[in-house]
Chain A
């Protein structure tokens, strides 16, 4: 079945440093989504990427979708303490609504 892998599992940074998490799928994806889950909370949708090579930005967050649509990355510039949480990617092979396969997440801690 489809597998989605994320690295690293944990990342500890000093406030102000950059952070990147990487996501790789065993199969070509139709789209990839990114979510953030705060400790004790629920996943919150951040963004969806659909096109090969697509790059999207949200303030300090930059999301990329690989040319082959099998990998993606999330980069945070100048981390803040409010960025702490677990970041999940989720890949789908469906063009329409359907299940997504989640990676195991990267847990980010930020030291002030």
Chain B
């Protein structure tokens, strides 16, 4: 049973380019979360999605960032016109659907984005 798959593992982009990060949740998991981690810092919530729905995007910057989780295919985190400050590790996590109980997240290996 494959875990949460993220690709690419490493991504280098020049300032002004677009970065596209992909995440396939664990089989049976319908909830996807994106977190950003700066070096030596904690995980900052960005967005929470279910299939075809954005449930909570309160942590997402208003400009340049967008996320989707289509009916078919992986969840995509898209960063347009990247700047140096976007350099970070971006982790995707998934959890099963639940009613009355929350479950721990299963994290992917992350995408390390470097903007040069």
Contact = CB atoms under 8 A, between A and B. Distances in A.
Interface of A: 1, 6, 30-31, 33, 35, 41-48, 50, 88, 90, 92, 94-105
Nearest to B56: A99
A42 B109 CA distance: 5
A73 B66 CA distance: 35
Contact of A95 (B55, B100, B105): B100
A96 B99 contact: yes
Nearest to B105: A45
Given A88-B42, A99-B56, A102-B43, A42 B91 contact: yes
Contacts, number: 73
Q: DSSP class of B's interface residues: helix, strand, loop or mixed?
A: loop
A14 B31 CA distance: 40
B42 A104 contact: yes
Given A30-B102, A90-B43, 18 more contacts: A1-B58, A6-B42, A33-B105, A35-B104, A42-B108, A46-B104, A48-B102, A48-B103, A48-B104, A95-B102, A96-B99, A96-B100, A97-B103, A98-B102, A99-B45, A99-B48, A100-B105, A102-B45
Contact of B104 (A6, A45, A94, A96): A45
Contacts of B107: 35, 42-45
Among B42, B99, B110, max chain A CB count under 10 A is at: B42
B69 interface: no
